[in-house]
């Protein structure tokens, strides 16, 4: 690749745009390994800090996965990168804005799920709740995986593809934020109990109760924001 002069302050957005072009052209495929940080510094003619910031943004978006062996392109068969998602990442919107958005989005998703969710999806919700319980006092990453998976299934259960795609656009950012919450005392236990309340309400088809349970869950999380800044 030829060197590309980038403005450091807009580097994440420009890197994302470049990756999108490579995906569209077919030059970048699932499992492909990206150049090393040093190589990328040469390609874009910027410092290591800027490259790491860009790679972190791409990882948060779910486009790449960073491992000890290097940075790899993730499964992009269902690639979704909305302007809203880019704006969130590039502007580094604060957690307060994210939780405000979640209350608007996921309260509605819970109400719709109470009306449309399938038995199979209810079984999956139960499975993810059990995973949360299993790791409540153990591995925080696995607890968070169960938490995020629960919300994902709930979003699918709402049977609204527009809202589902919006949820997918912020899912990875929520997962990153959850890592900060997971270290606070009693947060995981409270989150587990909240998810039980949501599941119980959705399983009996109670729209209002489902929405209230989700609102309470997210409002409590919002109250913790000051402790993790």
**Beta strands in the chain, from DSSP E residues, in sequence order:** 64-67, 70-73
Q: Which pTM value belongs to this model?
A: 0.64
Tell me which of 1.10.10.10, 3.30.70.100, 3.40.50.800, 3.40.50.300 is the CATH number of domain 8-73.
1.10.10.10
Residues 87-144: tens digit of each pLDDT? 555 454 577 888 888 999 999 999 999 999 999 999 999 999 999 999 988 888 889 9
C-alpha–C-alpha distance, residues 45 and 135, integer Å: 44
Quick one: what percent of the chain has pLDDT higher than 90?
36
C-alpha–C-alpha distance, residues 67 and 65, integer Å: 6
C-alpha–C-alpha distance, residues 63 and 45, integer Å: 22
Q: Which two tokens stand for residue 202?
A: 């959705």
Q: How confident is the model at residue 49 (pLDDT cuts 50, 70, 90)?
A: confident
Spans of all domains in the chain:
8-73, 93-228
When pLDDT is averaged across residues 45-70 and rounded to a whole number, the result is: 79
C-alpha–C-alpha distance, residues 171 and 163, integer Å: 12
| CATH topology for the 93-228 domain | 1.20.120
The predicted pLDDT at position 9 comes to 44
């Amino acid at each position: 690749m030829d060197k590309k002069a980038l403005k450091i302050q807009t580097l994440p957005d420009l890197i994302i745009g470049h990756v999108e072009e490579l995906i569209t052209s077919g030059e970048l495929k699932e499992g492909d390994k990206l150049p090393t940080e040093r190589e990328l510094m040469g390609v874009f003619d910027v410092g290591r800090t800027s490259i790491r910031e860009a790679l972190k943004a791409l990882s948060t978006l779910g486009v790449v996965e960073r491992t000890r062996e290097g940075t790899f392109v993730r499964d992009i068969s269902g690639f979704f990168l909305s302007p809203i998602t880019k704006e969130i990442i590039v502007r580094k919107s604060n957690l307060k804005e994210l939780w405000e958005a979640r209350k608007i989005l996921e309260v509605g998703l819970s109400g719709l799920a109470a009306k449309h969710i399938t038995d199979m999806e209810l079984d999956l919700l139960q499975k993810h709740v059990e995973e949360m319980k299993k790791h409540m006092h153990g591995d925080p990453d696995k607890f968070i995986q169960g938490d995020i998976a629960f919300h994902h299934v709930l979003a699918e259960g709402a049977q609204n593809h527009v809202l589902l795609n919006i949820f997918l656009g912020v899912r990875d950012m929520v997962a990153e934020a959850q890592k900060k919450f997971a270290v606070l005392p009693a947060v995981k236990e409270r989150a587990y109990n909240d998810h039980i309340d949501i599941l119980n309400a959705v399983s009996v088809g109670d729209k209002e109760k489902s929405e209230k349970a989700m609102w309470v869950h997210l409002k409590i999380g919002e109250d913790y924001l000051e402790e993790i800044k």
